[in-house]
Amino acid sequence: MKKNIIINKNNFFIFSLFECGCFSMATITTTIIIIICLLPATQAKYMFYNTTMAIDPHKINVHLVPHSHDDVGWLKTIDQYYAGANNSIRGACVQNVLDSVISALLDDPNRRFIYVEMAFFQRWWRQQSDTLKAEVRDLVNSGRLEFINGGMCMHDEATPHYIDMIDQTTLGHRFIKHEFNQKPRVGWQIDPFGHSAVQAYLLGAELGFDSLFFARIDYQDRAKRKTDKSLEVVWQGSQSLGSSSQIFTGIFPVHYSPPDGFTFEVNDVSAPIQDDLTLFDYNVKERVDDFVIAALAQANVTRTNHIMWTMGEDFRYQYALSWFRQMDKFIHYVNMDGRVNALYSTPSIYTEAKHTANEKWPLKTGDFFPYADRENAYWTGYFTSRPALKGYVRMMSGYLLAARQLEFFKGRSNLGPNTDALADALAIAQHHDAITGTEREHVAADYAMRLSIGYTECPLLNISYCPPTEANLLNGKSLVVVAYNPIGWKRVEIIRIPVSSQGLIVQDSDGREIESQLIPISSASLSTRNYHLKGNLGGSATDSDKYWLAFSASVPPLGFSTYIVSSSRKTGSRSVISKWSLSERDSNNTIEVGQGNLKLLYTADEGKLTSYINSRNQVTAFAGQSYGYYSGYNGTDRVNQASGAYIFRPNGTFPVKSDSQVPLTVVRGPLLDEIHQQLSSWLHQVTRVYKEKEHAEVEFTIGPIPVDDGVGKEVIARIATSLRSNRTFYTDSNGRDFIKRVRDYRSDWDLQVHQPIAGNYYPINLGIYLEDEDIELSVLVDRAVGATSLVDGQIEVMLHRRLLNDDARGVGEALNEEVCVHNTCKGLMIQGKFYLRIDPRGEGAKWRRAFGQEIYSPLLLAFAEQDGNNWMGTHVAAFSAIDPAYSLPENIAIITLQELENGKVLLRLAHLYETGEDRDYSVMEKVELKKLFPGKKISKVTEMNLSANQERSEMEKKRLEWRVEGASEERRGLRGGAFDPTRLEVELAPSEIRTFEVEFDYIRMFGS
Amino acid sequence: MKKNIIINKNNFFIFSLFECGCFSMATITTTIIIIICLLPATQAKYMFYNTTMAIDPHKINVHLVPHSHDDVGWLKTIDQYYAGANNSIRGACVQNVLDSVISALLDDPNRRFIYVEMAFFQRWWRQQSDTLKAEVRDLVNSGRLEFINGGMCMHDEATPHYIDMIDQTTLGHRFIKHEFNQKPRVGWQIDPFGHSAVQAYLLGAELGFDSLFFARIDYQDRAKRKTDKSLEVVWQGSQSLGSSSQIFTGIFPVHYSPPDGFTFEVNDVSAPIQDDLTLFDYNVKERVDDFVIAALAQANVTRTNHIMWTMGEDFRYQYALSWFRQMDKFIHYVNMDGRVNALYSTPSIYTEAKHTANEKWPLKTGDFFPYADRENAYWTGYFTSRPALKGYVRMMSGYLLAARQLEFFKGRSNLGPNTDALADALAIAQHHDAITGTEREHVAADYAMRLSIGYTECPLLNISYCPPTEANLLNGKSLVVVAYNPIGWKRVEIIRIPVSSQGLIVQDSDGREIESQLIPISSASLSTRNYHLKGNLGGSATDSDKYWLAFSASVPPLGFSTYIVSSSRKTGSRSVISKWSLSERDSNNTIEVGQGNLKLLYTADEGKLTSYINSRNQVTAFAGQSYGYYSGYNGTDRVNQASGAYIFRPNGTFPVKSDSQVPLTVVRGPLLDEIHQQLSSWLHQVTRVYKEKEHAEVEFTIGPIPVDDGVGKEVIARIATSLRSNRTFYTDSNGRDFIKRVRDYRSDWDLQVHQPIAGNYYPINLGIYLEDEDIELSVLVDRAVGATSLVDGQIEVMLHRRLLNDDARGVGEALNEEVCVHNTCKGLMIQGKFYLRIDPRGEGAKWRRAFGQEIYSPLLLAFAEQDGNNWMGTHVAAFSAIDPAYSLPENIAIITLQELENGKVLLRLAHLYETGEDRDYSVMEKVELKKLFPGKKISKVTEMNLSANQERSEMEKKRLEWRVEGASEERRGLRGGAFDPTRLEVELAPSEIRTFEVEFDYIRMFGS
């Protein structure tokens, strides 16, 4: 063989003048000279590689799992990633991945691949021929192509609301069910930056998943788990549902790429196996040794004789054969070698093998937040990054829920218009580089555009501008306001609409005049509005005075009410113009606001909040409120870590100070009081106390955050009380379960604290609260943000971030959002709200749950003009979809009411409370479907799993039971009883969400 | 459609707090609210793209020619490129190309692809299954996969010998013929750095090619041709063969890549066509416009309505579908648009279309050297780069020719050992980044290793070390020396072998003692030898005194003679020890050397050559000889252009000077005289005058070239005479035709001279000469080098180059060859020879042609020891393969005599002279095959085309005739008559090479 010829490659040829040719005499015969030339090495032939899958119980089994991690948007938009456009940013083309993977799978029946992101797969699928579709169906049905996770995207776990997580997963799962009749069995959250309890139990166990896998975990936690061999655990995400919600969970020892030296994308540098003896560089032995060494290293931190190699990376397999060719060879030669056993596998095969091993696994409760990938690198910045996008997504989420209800009432049109485009846009916005704010600026714009295309109408209402409501109501015209309530219980709320004139009256649908209040729109607010109008419409609003018209609307469950606003010549019934005052004070040098039970007290001199008093339940508490900011660390790489889109690394804490003392402005009226404060040139706040509500509403307008000093800033609001909260606070998991947090502490390992601020931040979607022996303080939010309690009795919420350095995690852009109008750019301003309330201990949950649901599902308003008084005569003025005598219990929410393509109706009911959370509401509850659908004949009700791709009973049958270390007495958790088809009642235990497909004999409530 | 929705992407979503949801009332009916959501865009479906090939005579036809340019070695070795190994240097894997191209072709019958480099294709082919092979045969036979060029590599055109070009092409063509029964029809030399006349007529017309295409042409020439629309021409490469050797030749307007914006490799940045209305970024119109604009631009510089787009680049199509997917769409949409007509095509379809157009084309004669791609960037350095490799390749080329003859005599073994490995190694060494010296150092080592594996035995004879000949010949042993002559005429030559003792006698095979001369090996030579021995064998030679033993060998045509060297006690018959003298001089202060007709005169003081005197033909001429060097320009990029592997950019001319005056050493003896000169510490020269020869042989040892001053150097030898050569000189084309060169002049355009030195360099393989009215001066070389005549009467040859900067043409390494022994590295030393002779005008060709052939095919030596005198009794001592009464005419060479795998014998006979070159030899000549193969019965002789893949008559029948502009009376050129099967005589006209397959009734001359 060539390899045995000893030749000094570098030198032998260099001296080149040959005195003579030379040939060997060694075999000269008596008759003729024989020339000795090298025997050509064994003629290479077509090689058959034996890659038949077989598990060897006596060896380490290396499960090779070919995969491609395809972000549905990040550096490029989803469509650019799909089509391979904009490759100057990053070469990536998912169409290549799917085309070439399918081709490689069709070439060899032993190969396997998993695919994850249905948003991409759907795009691809639509473009394929029927012939190829049939072949792909075969691949899927034979398990060679397996859908894993199976949502539209791999959603983030910190910043999405659980309803969005369910919706986007359902979209993907139903697509898979519809096209392939398959149900994904494995959760595959390999990239998200921390992992939530809701993911484990709701988007895991409740989907019917057998297991969940991910890569990212705190570096300290990982180190300990490697030592303990506890990277694989049984995770129990819900305390209410107990062991019935457990899921086997595997954390990768390094990341979701293959071990070093085993990446085989086109142009990758790993050495390919070279087994053709006619070519140079034969290296089978060497590469097999590499493989065995890597396998043994991993086996060393893993229980059982099964290990998984994630054979892929971001957007890999653009030419799949380049991977499969090498894996074919590795499996063949490694198995010939015999020290370990290699096989093509999938996470479900791996899970099955783990289960069969009958091992005991450590129990994990709680979640995996926050995530740090090294010292000083806590990924807690993205909890708040791009607050405008986060707010927009949340608004659209609530809107979609309501729109689907209305679509159901009207009767769905499969050919459109329908809610599908919005559902699709909202689904991909849950991606872990979408709502997280960790995508590039142009990609964020793409997500938002998709949402807006779904939403389409009246996009500018968000800046108090909605032309129909501001039209001049003279000439006998009046404004019709329709308010829809998507919640199952009746609501009475103050509605505010912008109007351009005084002298208005508001009437309900019965013609009764109702009390209303006019609140002048502040000049700060007006200038902001005009700025954005220029940017959006290219013009400006009219210059006439503008007011908010506030009135109280009472709306039935799943129904609407209609109000008429018109100008009136009768002085008495006109809306009350609020009183403004700039320097009001009482004898104690105090300003008190609040017309009802709740009063807030401010110091008249400094305008500082000092007391929170609820006269109904006798709560009186010291309460301060302020803003501050962290200066962002200006690093350049992973060692010199900057604060950025992902990472929060503060470099100092500073109060927000106004340049001069600006006294607070008090606005008072019959329905609500407001406190206006210009806290600095770039921070304005309005605090509202409604007569009929017992919480304070704080509306903040922040930005442009100044960065002229070259320092990025992250703005926080702080609420301070004297509660002795003992380092403990509670934050929600995706808007659902509240999880206990203890400052500077982790229950799973002995925390080394390097970042005492960033390392205590947690994501919230609903809110945060803390308590002492007497009272509890709750703060609820209108979108995902980061929050913490760094000092006992204090709550801190991060509201906005503007940073000047990239944080070296790949996005390659500083999180420096700007708005440009006529080529002039300034930092992004955001407006948002949080709500705060103080209750006697044990009373807070009621507000957090009920009002939290109302924040998620605000009243939906629509407007029309009427000439004269024709509206009421031609339109239904008030409506409720449910039995007029019925209302949903206040611990139950309809989180899905949607007509499907097949005419069936998807209904999800959620119990809003956890076990033990509330004395009154944490109880088994019933919903009567007959009363929910009056006037319809329910012909069939099928209980489904959470993503509605299989019957719940089928899912339950397949559920794997896992043995848990040291768990002698597990609590299974309470569940509602089986659905009774005769009584048509649904029973829900605390934390339960139940999903049904409901069929009706006739589905239309109204003809169309 | 989405595109019509006006949304300000940057701004609309940024202000995010929504006062309320909003839905339109516009379509509120009397009964229920309708939600307006966006209509989903037309559901995308599987798209059928119409890519049927059709030429439209009324439109510009854009021939899309998908191709991949796969260097058989450059930055990586050929096997590394094939397997995708060593990708850290450059991502490239030819296996991917072939796998994915075949797959894409099988997917769609309209797609086409051309493949060029058989060295890669063969590797791939060996590894395929029979099933796939059958499918590929279908692709080839249906023209969807077309082999273009079809040699093992795309050989260089400056530095290979024409015999090597023929051999490597034959290897590839016969493989294609054998596996696919196809014959390539098009020359595709897209990348070589200049183009030779031999390429056009021999490796073009004589192969049966219809056309030749390439990209690289002098930038000034290209500019003029674009203006003239003369990028496509009829090229007549041979003046002897006239119009019978014409070929249609197309030069690409830019390079061999697609127009800008039409590259579609995975991760390329060109915008893909996006035609899916359900995705964003639909751009069909825009991309079709781009296509049409690019097509019109090219049509503007092209005759006829056919233009070719070379859709590929270096190592592209690693995932072929990514190209074909886009080309499918472009053809479909461009043809729908209708302004131009796009089609999948190949160069042969394109050629056919050009031919059908019946246009007249400009005539091109001569060649396309030298090549400059911009000012100051003459690619004339590579004519000399890596002189050691160039010398090694040339040596192996001569060796293979001889070895194949011997293999034929013995009878070929198809299973080996045979000459195939050497033939393969030599074939790829002709690649335009192999013998050119423009590959990386490690790749050069790979080519050399492959050659050495073919050669295998006695690799160190090149440094005067060959153990059998240096063995102590005491103890009654003697040395047997067998000398084989591969040439068809008898030769008498001085053989030199290294020996370790004096007192030797040399006997011929009849036992006659013959005259011999011992020449001490100089100490300089010994130390060099020991240095390289250490490097190669890890030891050192014995320390005993060493001599060259020279004696005169007389060897019959295609035969061998045997000589016995033994020690003798008889003083009289012993070899004569040469006389050495250091300060000899005659009365004129002159040193004269030469025992025969030729005398050289030197000044005794300075040791300078002054005169050349041939007493036979009365030539007496002033003759000086010296060395100098150019300092290499130290640039960093294309503007600040460095001298490097490709490019020669001198920055000053300097003489080579020794540190002190070293007198010349004269060695005299009965067979030859030698002059030894240490011209500097790194340049040593030996000049030899043989008693029986009329040329001087100059052996130079150059190196390590000093670069401690930070300046690279390019070493030249200069021969100066007083000839009035009038700016004119002649250099050979690939060792065959001599082409007239005029200093600072090009016949095709008005040359702008920026580089008066580099721009006058031409490649030589055989030699260079110049003449005046009386005499001519010829210099012949032993390998490819660059040469010129910068001053009338002077010849300059570049011998060695050592440079410190990369010249920015991709190799990414400075041409700084070093040799390392025991971790100590020094610059490469090279040893070589050139030969010079001065003749009366019109007499030089005889020497250039006959001796040139002998340089190419030196006597091949083999050695054995004998004990006593048993050799002659057991071995054939003298042998000639041809009729003892016959000898080939001295103007005819057997350039191929090779037994093929099928038992047939391939015979190529070459007429060595051009028309008008020599009074006596430029005549029609005959070869009698009966006498060439005595004792064999010739059963059949078939005349073939040059690459022996088809019968010559078949080739002639298919030859396309082209109309030439302004050519009223073309000269067809003389050709030998048709082969007469009865007389078995071959007639050869000047410049003719005729190729035959000869079949014998019994092929073996000797049993084996």
Could you give the CA distance from residue A153 to residue A169 in angstroms, rounded to a whole number?
A: 8
Burial A196-221 (b: 16+ CB within 10 A, else e): bbbbbbbbbbbbbbbbbbbbbbbebb
A421/B451 touch (CB, cutoff 8 Å), yes or no: no
Q: Which of B765, B164, B83 is nearest to B424 (CA)?
A: B164
The pTM assigned to this predicted structure is 0.93
Residue of chain B nearest A36, judged by CA positions: B417
- Among A470-479, B350-359, B826-835, the minimum mean pLDDT is found in A470-479
Mean pLDDT of B3-26: 31
Q: What are phi and psi of B230, to 5 degrees?
A: -120, 35
- Alpha-helix residue ranges (DSSP H) falling in A385-513: 387-410, 420-428, 441-455, 467-470
- pLDDT tens for B271-320 read 999 999 999 999 999 999 999 999 999 999 999 999 999 999 999 999 99
The residues near B692 (Cβ < 8 Å, ≥ 6 apart) are B492, B494, B552, B596
Could you give the CA distance from residue B355 to residue B304 in angstroms, rounded to a whole number?
A: 10
**Among positive and negative, which fits the CA dihedral B610, B614, B615, B618?**
negative
Residue of A22, A34, A1006 lying closest to B461 (CB–CB): A22
Q: DSSP state, A900?
A: -
Partner A contacted by B46 (CB < 8 A): yes
| Chain A CB contacts of B820 below 8 Å | 10-11
Q: DSSP state, B403?
A: H
Neighbour-count burial of B56, counting CB atoms closer than 10 A to its CB (0-12 exposed, 13-18 middle, 19+ buried): middle
Q: DSSP state, B110?
A: T
- The pLDDT value recorded for residue B537 is 56
Could you give the CA distance from residue A146 to residue A162 in angstroms, rounded to a whole number?
A: 25
Could you give the CA distance from residue A756 to residue A650 in angstroms, rounded to a whole number?
A: 10
Q: Is the pLDDT of residue B33 over 60?
A: no
Could you give the CA distance from residue A443 to residue A433 in angstroms, rounded to a whole number?
A: 9
Partner A contacted by B276 (CB < 8 A): yes
Residue of B15, B129, B279 lying closest to A123 (CB–CB): B279
- pLDDT tens for B583-623 read 666 777 899 999 999 999 999 888 899 999 999 999 999 98
- The pLDDT value recorded for residue A1007 is 41
Length of chain B: 1008
| Chain A CB contacts of B128 below 8 Å | 46
- pLDDT tens for A803-850 read 999 999 999 999 999 998 888 899 999 999 999 999 999 999 999 999
B999 residue type, one letter: E
Chosen for mutation from B1, B6, B11 (greatest number of chain A CBs closer than 10 Å) is B11
- The pLDDT value recorded for residue B305 is 98
Torsion of Cα atoms, A767 then A771 then A775 then A780, to 10°: -10
Q: What are phi and psi of B885, to 5 degrees?
A: -90, 0
Could you give the CA distance from residue B122 to residue B174 in angstroms, rounded to a whole number?
A: 12
Q: How many A/B residue pairs have CB atoms within 8 Å?
A: 496
- The pLDDT value recorded for residue B26 is 27
| Chain A CB contacts of B279 below 8 Å | 79, 82-83, 123
Could you give the CA distance from residue B112 to residue B97 in angstroms, rounded to a whole number?
A: 14
Partner B contacted by A463 (CB < 8 A): yes
- pLDDT tens for B225-246 read 999 999 999 999 999 999 999 9
| Chain B CB contacts of A445 below 8 Å | 9-10, 13
The label of the residue with tokens 């590599």 reads B153
**ipTM of the modeled complex:** 0.92
Residue B821 banded pLDDT, cuts 50, 70, 90: confident
Could you give the CA distance from residue B21 to residue A459 in angstroms, rounded to a whole number?
A: 9
A418/B23 touch (CB, cutoff 8 Å), yes or no: no
Could you give the CA distance from residue B416 to residue B425 in angstroms, rounded to a whole number?
A: 16
Task: Name the region of B285 (left: φ>0; alpha: ψ -120 to 50; beta: rest).
Answer: alpha
| Chain B CB contacts of A94 below 8 Å | none
The structure tokens listed for B725 are 């050569």
Mean pLDDT of B526-553: 71
Length of chain A: 1008
Return mean pLDDT, chain A: 90
State whether residue A244 is helix, strand or coil. helix
Torsion of Cα atoms, B20 then B25 then B29 then B30, to 10°: 70
- pLDDT tens for A333-388 read 999 999 999 999 999 999 999 999 999 999 999 999 999 999 999 999 999 999 99
Return mean pLDDT, chain B: 90
- The pLDDT value recorded for residue B53 is 87
Could you give the CA distance from residue B756 to residue A983 in angstroms, rounded to a whole number?
A: 103
Mean pLDDT of B405-427: 89
Residue B41 banded pLDDT, cuts 50, 70, 90: very low
Residues within 8 A of A (CB atoms), B 968-1007 only: 1005-1007
- Among A530-539, B194-203, B211-220, B568-577, the minimum mean pLDDT is found in A530-539
Residue of A15, A28, A44 lying closest to B831 (CB–CB): A15
Share of chain B above pLDDT 70, in %: 90
Residues within 8 A of B (CB atoms), A 902-961 only: none
- The pLDDT value recorded for residue B568 is 78
Q: Is the peptide bond before A370 cis (omega within 30 degrees of 0)?
A: yes
Residue of B445, B455, B864 lying closest to A28 (CB–CB): B864
Residue of A9, A417, A858 lying closest to B37 (CB–CB): A417
Q: Which of B828, B634, B856, B826 is nearest to B715 (CA)?
A: B828
Partner B contacted by A91 (CB < 8 A): yes
A536/B8 touch (CB, cutoff 8 Å), yes or no: yes
Could you tell me where the beta strands, DSSP code E, fall in A11-122?
21-23, 61-66, 113-115
- The pLDDT value recorded for residue B417 is 79
